[in-house]
């Protein structure tokens, strides 16, 4: 339904309401990596203090008025990223076979978090920041 049709439906019935809630959780980890076959400095071993932003989305709040408890969401996200902290990413799955780019880190965290979410909650987006000015987002 396009916005014009939705507006017409609301005008006629007064009952079309779509509520979407989003939570944003930040975490971070420090890790080293190197980009295989990259023509430049990033092919050499180097590290980042990665910042990860995870956006969770859902339509319904629970009986406490929460989409999901922040404590539970943070635990799930920490579980998804803890294995990277103070490690050489190229030695870890899936980065033994996949270049540990910012884009691939975002996708890997997205998949890990999505696998542990309760029904009705989805990952809207994961953004991995390798610096204050450069990051990559992944969503489906």
Residues with a catalytic annotation lie at 42, 86, 130
Q: Are the C-beta atoms of residues 51 and 28 closer than 8 Å to each other?
A: yes
Contact 126, 110 (CB under 8 A): yes
> Strand order in 135-138's β-sheet?
87-88, 21-33, 46-58, 121-129, 135-138
């Amino acid at each position: 339904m396009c916005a014009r049709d939705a507006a017409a439906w609301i005008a006629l019935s007064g009952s079309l309401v779509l509520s979407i809630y989003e939570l944003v959780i930040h975490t971070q980890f420090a890790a080293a990596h190197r980009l295989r076959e990259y023509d430049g400095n990033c092919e050499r071993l180097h590290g980042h203090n990665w910042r990860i932003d995870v956006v969770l989305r859902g339509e319904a709040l629970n009986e406490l008025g929460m989409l999901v408890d922040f404590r539970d969401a943070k635990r799930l996200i920490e579980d998804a990223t803890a294995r990277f902290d103070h490690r050489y990413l190229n030695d870890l799955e899936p980065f033994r076979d996949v270049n540990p780019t910012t884009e691939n880190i975002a996708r890997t965290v997205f998949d890990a978090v999505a696998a542990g979410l309760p029904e009705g909650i989805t990952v809207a987006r994961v953004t991995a920041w390798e610096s204050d000015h450069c990051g990559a987002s992944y969503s489906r």
